Chain A
Amino acid sequence: MTEIYPHKIESKDVNLYYGNFHALKGISMSVEKNTVCALIGPSGCGKSTFLRLFNRMNDLIDGIKIEGDCLIDGKNIYSKEVKIDELRKRVGMVFQKPNPFPKSIFENVAYGLRVNGISHKTLIEERVERSLKQAALWDEVKDKLKKSAMQLSGGQQQRLCIARALAIEPSVVLMDEPASALDPISTSKIEELIYELKSQYTIIIVTHNMQQAGRVSDSTAFFYMGELIEYDLTKKLFTNPSDTRTQDYITGRFG
């Protein structure tokens, strides 16, 4: 595929208001294809809200107002021609709390395919297997695909949610603190996974864990009070931040 546009994901002077509250203040940044971008910052700084711009999950909230442009592959995803459910097929999302459906493991992964009108049995089976392999869960569940997903451990559930998001073949994956509810072993599995998925997907991950951001991401954005304070390569931002607020945050002086 030829890349006409330089950036996979881009936001141009985005402002977002919850009623009168100005939650995102003129955010402009871009993420390159097949990289991992980490969003860090104290609670309430707007990083999750920013993440949710790109699959338009913020649209579900009453009384929200969004200004500016969000582009994926150079196209404004807030323009009138964009169908929200079409957009969400291209932009997968993994939530903070593992939220598999109370269905079987197989049906969880197949869900996205079915709602998108795919009903070919072997195609679904192939995709489910491939997605579970990509999410490093296949070996643990291949003998119990018909069992309820609710019986899996928290870490397995989260990898199932990743498999579910990958099954519809998105090009972008948004992750909202995907490991914050998990134990250290599950967390490291998820991190390895993110590292491997990078070759096929562009990933934006919100995290509270500084080490995690350092380990998995190529670029890091530091948000504070709804503003983008600093955005740079992860190595640069963590070793030599330009802004004192970034420095204070990553060294743990506030947040």
Chain B
Amino acid sequence: MIGILFSILGFIIYKGIGVISWEFITEMPKDGMTKGGIYPAIIGTLCLIGGSIIFAFPIGVMSAIYINEYTKHGYFRSFIQLMTSNLAGIPSIVFGLFGMSLFVNQLGFGDSILAGSLTLGLLVLPIVIRTTEEALKAVDDNFRQASLALGATKLQTIQRVTLPIALPNILTGLILSIGRVSGETAPILFTVAAYFLPKLPTSIFDQVMALPYHLYVISTSGTNINDSRAMAYGTALVLILIVLILNLTASAVRRYLSKKNNIN
């Protein structure tokens, strides 16, 4: 497993490191995307990560709290869990189609960061729900009972005891979601991604370029595919680095919180 991971990483680094430069990550693409940088795609991807997490994280965490803390064991809970799993199993292109139909057309957001973020948010919602549920399940019932026995209400118990203890594990869901959001191409295809847009977004109703879609464009449907080959590897490397940095940050926070809880 680790061998496969490192051979893929090694390959991307070997092919892509040559084009990485300050200009590459801070300049607009030019000359039919064979020269210049990928700055707008980086910003676009960061916007989409941020937007989808802002949407999916609170809703996902609250759903999981509802399922784990408020529903009783039985058909209803099993039914919700089954539906969550089903949601996770839907191919991402279907989410793209749904997002286009609902957010872009029906709600009139157009091709925009908002529509793309909401679509990606839906895509990662089941991941957030599932990991949060597991995190809450892992909290020892003794803590809940101790809190309730001190006259705390259920809501106070969740806010002050259960959630803080579960938080490090909930962040795992966040890490997984970030990885998923930053790499998905299909859901943003019809909802936000621009083929070539050498400017930065000014509002959530703007279109943006995004790294995975940019990678797809310059690898398969650009005007000069052979000239942009090296840049494709460079883009892939930047994408991987962004995910890596965000993951490392999240896991550092996670480690800090576990240490503070001092239970793991």
Inter-subunit contact A115/B150 (CB<8 Å): yes
Cα A57 to Cα B165 in complex, Å, equals 22
Which residues of the partner chain B approach A97 to less than 8 Å between Cβ atoms? 142
Which residues of the partner chain B approach A112 to less than 8 Å between Cβ atoms? 150-152
CB-based nearest A residue for B259: A148
Which residues of the partner chain B approach A93 to less than 8 Å between Cβ atoms? 149
Q: Does B23 contact A (CB under 8 A)?
A: no
Q: Does B8 contact A (CB under 8 A)?
A: no
Inter-subunit contact A95/B151 (CB<8 Å): no
Inter-subunit contact B148/A101 (CB<8 Å): no
Partner of A62, one of B73, B142, B151: B73
Partner of B262, one of A95, A111, A150: A150
Partner-binding segment picked from B43-51, B153-161, B193-201, B231-239: B153-161
Interface range, B side: 20 to 34
Inter-subunit contact A161/B156 (CB<8 Å): no
Inter-subunit contact A102/B261 (CB<8 Å): yes
CB-based nearest B residue for A59: B148
Task: Say how far A95's CB is from chain B's closest CB, in angstroms.
Answer: 6
Q: Does B147 contact A (CB under 8 A)?
A: yes
CB-based nearest B residue for A113: B150
Which residues of the partner chain B approach A60 to less than 8 Å between Cβ atoms? 145, 148
Q: Interface readout for A59-92 with B: 1 if CB under 8 Å, 0 if not?
A: 0101000000000000000000000011011001
Inter-subunit contact B145/A85 (CB<8 Å): no
Answer whether A101 and B161 are a contact pair too, CB < 8 Å, given A60-B145, A151-B262.
yes
Cα A111 to Cα B149 in complex, Å, equals 11
Inter-subunit contact A62/B72 (CB<8 Å): yes
Cα A97 to Cα B143 in complex, Å, equals 11
Inter-subunit contact A99/B262 (CB<8 Å): no
Q: Give the 9 A-B CB pairs with smallest separation, nearest first.
A: A89-B151, A112-B150, A99-B142, A115-B152, A102-B261, A93-B149, A88-B151, A150-B262, A148-B262
A-B contact pairs, 20 of them (CB 8 A): A57-B148, A60-B148, A62-B72, A88-B151, A89-B151, A92-B149, A95-B142, A97-B142, A99-B140, A101-B147, A102-B261, A102-B262, A111-B152, A112-B150, A115-B150, A115-B153, A115-B160, A151-B262, A164-B150, A165-B149
Q: Which residues of A contact B (CB under 8 A)?
A: 55, 57, 60, 62, 85-86, 88-89, 92-93, 95, 97, 99-102, 111-112, 114-116, 148, 150-151, 161, 164-165, 168
Given contacts A102-B261, A115-B156, 7 further A-B contacts (CB under 8 A): A88-B148, A88-B149, A99-B143, A99-B146, A102-B165, A111-B147, A112-B150
